[in-house]
Amino acid sequence: MEKRYALFFCLFLLGLHAFAQGNGPGIRGARAAALGYTSTTLHDVWAVGNNAAGLGQLTEPEVGFYAENRFLLPNFNTAALAVALPLGEVVENRPKNGVVGFEAQRFGGKLYAEQRLGAAYGYRSGQVSVGARLDVLQMSIEGLGSRRALALSLGGQAEIMPKKLVFGAYLYNLNQARLARYQDERVPTVLRAGLGYQPTEKVLLTVETEKDVDHDADFRAGLEYKVLDVLQVRAGFAALSEQTTGGVGFQTGQLRIDYAAAWQTVLGLSQHLSVHVLLAKPAQL
């Protein structure tokens, strides 16, 4: 019991919003976690939760599973399952009718838990992608019951320099969904904006800022280096939460596996693992 109180006290001093889900947008996928929690410019199945605009570039159906453990504590686990489905034929390396995505996620343990079901849509035209997502959120506290809310989010990506420099932005919970009338408790409204720069085929640099309307802005950055066609190494940091991140990615055929670890100066180690699979074979040239 004393250990639990000590942990919650540390979380309070450091800012709970920086570590717990808090019904905020969170991060999906170990790749984004390894890159200092930068995610707005990435485009894979995890764009369903990170920035729906990134779905617009997917040309094959994909399914992914993501697991996270924070600070080696069993009550700080997150698990998510996501699927992305392109609509229509592929024209100019993009689905003609866009891409839909669905996600189910759970965070927490017996005493406190958060669940969400999300549906997203992304569409790409030329060098610009746009996307939207609707979340059904539920927060449950043992002995106090559950609260539910609907949150709407919008995102965009634009290639400033084709295949070199990408700008991404994502506004989570633009409708400022309310969880309870008491003290006007609301789901966090969060804006993220970032850049992804790829000077060569082997190197990716990412920078991003995140601003919760009720908290200080965070600055994040990440670096990815492709050692081999099947192997990538990554590193990054998040300034506000004082976390240093790193990880590896392995990709072969239709399978990709990513692992990330994050170190927080007071609370210690967090780990992330994601697996995603293409459900159709890539075209052979």
**pLDDT 10s digits, 232-282:** 999 999 999 899 999 999 999 899 999 999 999 999 999 999 999 998 755
DSSP code of 31?
A: H
* In the chain, % of residues over pLDDT 90: 71
Residue showing tokens 């250990």: 3
Residue 122 has pLDDT above 90, yes or no: yes
Q: Which residue has the tokens 């919970």?
A: 173
DSSP 283: P
Q: What is the pLDDT of residues 10-37, one digit of tens each?
A: 443 344 444 545 578 889 999 999 999 9
What's the burial of 251, exposed, middle or buried (CB within 10 Å: 0-12/13-18/19+)?
Answer: middle
pLDDT tens per residue across span 82-108: 999 999 888 888 899 999 999 999 998
Query: Left if phi > 0, otherwise alpha if psi is -120 to 50, otherwise beta: which for 18?
Result: alpha
Coil, strand or helix: which one is 76? helix
Q: Name the 3-class secondary structure at 117.
A: strand
Question: Taking the chain, what is the end-to-end CA distance rounded to the nearest angstrom?
Answer: 61
Alpha-carbon span 168 to 124, nearest angstrom: 13
Digit-coded pLDDT (tens) for 163-191: 899 999 999 999 988 876 666 678 899 99
Mean pLDDT of the chain: 89
% of the chain surpassing 70 pLDDT = 89
> Any residues with CB less than 8 A from the CB of 177 and at least 6 apart, and which?
137, 149, 150, 151, 186, 187
- Beta strand pairing status for 62-69 and 185-186? unpaired
Residue 65, pLDDT above cutoff 60: yes
Q: What tokens appear for 76 in the block?
A: 């700080």
Helix or strand or coil: residue 55? helix
Q: Do residues 59 and 94 touch, judged by C-beta distance below 8 A?
A: yes
pLDDT of residue 183: 66
List, in order of start, the domains of the chain with CATH numbers: 2-278 (2.40.160.40)
Q: Which two structure tokens, joined as six digits, stand for 258? A: 């990513």
